[in-house]
Amino acid sequence: MTRNLTDEEVLAAVSLQDEARDESGPELIILDKPLEWKGEQFTELHLREPLTAQVLFASKVMGKRATVVTVRDAQLDLVARIARWPAAAIGLLPVSVQDRAILYVTEFEANARRPMDETPDRTPELRLTFDPAIEAVGRSHVEMTLREPVGVQRRRYEVTCERGTPEAALQAEINLVGDVSEWSMAAVLKMPISKFARAADYLTGFFIPGPRTGPTSRQS
């Protein structure tokens, strides 16, 4: 049985991890000219690798289908979530700054996804390690063990995909990773997007020959 994740569930999954984050971030973009919005001044963007939940939220912005406009809207939404800027303020940035920020936050997934011409990895088992550990539901998750999905897990994936939206495509992968790894949904949502993309590509590689591309990894 498929189940849609509510916004409240996703927010609850990442709230504690967000609070613990180092606000400096590994990527700093300093604006040439401060940006003013509603009496507040913005001078720099602090960016880091997105969590799976943040990419899922951003995918909602695309609605029923991905277009040049909706994909860029989703990418900018992801930048806003990571930088913790108001979305309206992100919209006022020079396009060159927007493009630099988009490239940074989306490359984590894009670089982790399987290339179009690469044969899927169908080894009997894939293990992913996490340092620092992912804390969720009172547990520390240090290692994820994956293997070939079974029929009911594939069916759940395909039923979710049939909704035909970019959000559904990503949620189907989230369900599949959670089902096979037996991790809680909260823990899967807290995965760095690069590790999640690798896990999802490995699992879908058993029944989908081509690459699996996340909804916000497509560049505009």
| Cα–Cα distance for residue pair 77/156, rounded to 1 Å | 28
- Beta bridge partners of residue 146, listed in sequence order: 126
CB 33 within 8 A of CB 65: no
Is residue 127 pLDDT above 80, yes or no? yes
Residue % of the chain over a pLDDT of 90:
79
pLDDT of 184 reads 94
Give the pLDDT band (50/70/90) at residue 5. low
CB 47 within 8 A of CB 82: yes
Q: What tens digit of pLDDT does each residue of 132-141 get? A: 999 998 899 9
Q: Read off the pTM.
A: 0.85
For 141, the token pair is 């998750």
pLDDT of 117 reads 82
CA 4 to chain centre: 16
| Cα–Cα distance for residue pair 10/146, rounded to 1 Å | 23
Give the pLDDT band (50/70/90) at residue 122. very high
Give the pLDDT band (50/70/90) at residue 10. low
Q: Where in the chain are the domains?
A: 7-14+24-112, 125-206
Is residue 13 pLDDT above 90, yes or no? no
Q: What tens digit of pLDDT does each residue of 167-187 get? A: 999 999 999 999 999 999 999
CB 7 within 8 A of CB 53: no
Host H or E run for residue 30: strand 27-37
